[in-house]
Amino acid sequence: MTSVHFRIAPIAIDNGMKLTRTLAAGLLALAGLVTAAPARLTKRSFDYSTEKLRGVNIGGWLVLEPWITPSLFEQFPDYGGDSPTVDEYTFCKTLGSDEAYKQLQQHWESWITYEDFKALADAGVNTVRIPIGYWAFELWNDDPYVQGQLAYFDNALAWAEELGLNVMIDLHGAPGSQNGFDNSGQRGNINWLEEDTLTLTVKVIDELASKYANHPAVTSIELLNEPLGASLNMTVIKQFYEAGYGTVRQYSSEVDVVIHDAYVGLTEWDGFMNTPDYDAVVLDTHIYQVFNNWQLELSLEDHVRAACNQSDSIGLSNQKLWTIVGEFSGAMTDCARWLNGFGIGARYDGTYYKGSSWIDSCDGESNVNSASQFSADKRANIRQFVEAQLDAYETGAGWIFWTAKTEAAPEWNFIDLVNNGVMPQPLTERWYGQQCS
């Protein structure tokens, strides 16, 4: 047995708060790092050395995102980005607990079903990544969130077990928000790096791991989705990952522990958590080509080239830690309604609220429900782009498409892309050859 090392020292954080010895000691206690870590595994639950992870995210279900299910947010006034209701936090606050629970329960029951999981399994997917917020386990201060998600999450694990799908549990939202995006539950300020929010996050990981780490369908637990490294303290994020790892290892020596790259690049993680003190650690990076103007101006050929250019860095990272692309899509524009946030326009057509220059019209894209409504040329272009990404990302340990379903964003809708011949079937089929060779 070898012990896990955790640096205990005051660390300055952007807002002036210090990570004190008391907090660090608390994280140690919660993580159980006073005990020895398990020996290195002789068998892992998902063998990355012999199999590629090919997965799909179950987005917009247990954590709301307005662009995935805009029908839930159409009841609220849209003030061009200034609406008071823009995420799950304000959804619950505006409606009140009784009405919010009523609407969310109906959503939980209907948005993702057994049939959706079966469609994914039939399409050749071997893994589903299921986002869930901390508020499903614990509430913080005067949170307006409502609970009840875990009963539906349990159903999803049962479906996955029956269908032979692996499950990656993804803690998608942390108290105070780790990135300020609506996908964290609360859009706006980033207040995660406080003593009570950090401690609560590790407590939630403890509850999550104690309940699910040994479930037959669960092969991995992602400690936190997309902490925004540029706005946080990377040393603290790494300490949090170490504490989270120790927490999970108290309950299972086999489940993989997934860490996000915090958008600081794969090389930042060279030498981190790949010593004999750690095992079954997976590095997750997310790659999109639609969230800045220069990417939106790329031609199809340039989008394909940009995807292929990721191959070398992913492959090199994968030699140090198993590396997956845990989110990507078929989108080459940001025209999907509210993709940039409720009430916010698109960079592509110049309506983005922070300013952008017009590239082309979003007509025919922002209100399209299915890829069947696209032209044959557009469907072919998306398929070519998707194929290039699959090839590039499989230089690493695999990929997880975002997302299983959308109401009105076909380039992001895996099941719809399969049904319309845009997603390869089988997933290894290629119409455009090996574009990244």
Concerning whether 226 is annotated as a catalytic residue, the answer is yes
Task: Return the structure tokens found at 134.
Answer: 């901390």
Instruction: Give 195's pLDDT tier (boundaries 50, 70, 90).
Output: confident
Task: Return the structure tokens found at 348.
Answer: 């592509």
Check if the beta carbon of residue 174 is closer than 8 Å to that of residue 191: no
Residue 47 pLDDT > 80, yes or no? yes
C-alpha 329/C-alpha 385 separation (Å) is: 9
Residue 302 DSSP SS3: helix
C-alpha 226/C-alpha 238 separation (Å) is: 13
Task: Return the structure tokens found at 389.
Answer: 């990404």
pLDDT digits (tens, 9 = 90+) for 291-330: 999 999 999 999 999 999 999 999 999 999 999 999 999 9
Please state the pTM of the whole predicted model. 0.91
Concerning whether 109 is annotated as a catalytic residue, the answer is no
Q: What is the DSSP string of 277-300?
A: T--SEEEEEE--S-SSHHHHT--H
C-alpha 62/C-alpha 212 separation (Å) is: 16
CATH of 11-419, one of 3.30.300.90, 1.10.10.10, 3.20.20.80, 1.20.58.340: 3.20.20.80
Sort 138 into a burial class: Cβ within 10 Å, 0-12 / 13-18 / 19+.
Answer: middle
Instruction: Give 26's pLDDT tier (boundaries 50, 70, 90).
Output: low
Give the number of other CB atoms < 10 A from CB of residue 389.
26
What is the rounded average pLDDT of the residues 34-49?
A: 51
pLDDT of residue 79: 66
Instruction: Give 191's pLDDT tier (boundaries 50, 70, 90).
Output: very high
CA distances from 115 to 112, 156, 159, 365 (A): 8, 11, 9, 27
- Active-site entry in 226, 242, 365, 387: 226
pLDDT averaged over the chain? 90
- Active-site entry in 65, 88, 222, 327: 327
Domain boundaries, the chain: 11-419
C-alpha 95/C-alpha 105 separation (Å) is: 14
Check if the beta carbon of residue 55 is closer than 8 Å to that of residue 400: yes
C-alpha 176/C-alpha 30 separation (Å) is: 19
pLDDT digits (tens, 9 = 90+) for 121-168: 999 999 999 999 999 999 999 999 999 999 999 999 999 999 999 999
Check if the beta carbon of residue 323 is closer than 8 Å to that of residue 287: no
pLDDT of residue 7: 27
What is the rounded average pLDDT of the residues 378-403?
A: 98
What is the rounded average pLDDT of the residues 172-176?
A: 98
- The phi and psi torsions of 203 (rounded to 5 degrees) equal -60, -40
Instruction: Give 80's pLDDT tier (boundaries 50, 70, 90).
Output: low
